[in-house]
Amino acid sequence: MSTRDNAVRIQLEIIQAKLGMTIHEMAEIVQRTKLTRANDIRWMIQREYELSHGDAKLLANAIVESQTPPALLIPAETHVHGASAAQQ
């Protein structure tokens, strides 16, 4: 595990402790809201759970990534001006 991955894992553990719930429990709440975009989820988490922007963003991204089937994930470097490189 890289140092960055370890730091993210530790930060997510701290966020879970602040919330008093697991990421899985928060993902279930998000699923009930029908929000799908990470930015919308981040905003809801900031507003409803009073987390900082950074903590809410990290949590929202973790939730979105956990709910996205791996086949749909496209590496960021393949995107060119809103379209994947394969489409161009």
Each residue's pLDDT, cut to its tens digit, for the chain (88 residues) gives 789 889 999 999 999 999 999 998 999 999 999 998 999 999 999 999 999 999 999 999 999 988 765 554 455 454 444 444 444 4
Give me the pLDDT at residue 53, please: 97
Residue 80: CB partners within 8 Å, gap ≥ 6?
88
Give me the pLDDT at residue 1, please: 73
Give me the pLDDT at residue 10, please: 93
Residue 75 lies in a domain: no
**Separation between Cα atoms, residue 14 and residue 70, nearest integer Å:** 26
Residue 29 lies in a domain: yes
Range of the domain at 17: 3-65
Residue 81 lies in a domain: no
Number of domains in the chain: 1
Residue 72 lies in a domain: no
Residue 30 lies in a domain: yes
Residue 73 lies in a domain: no
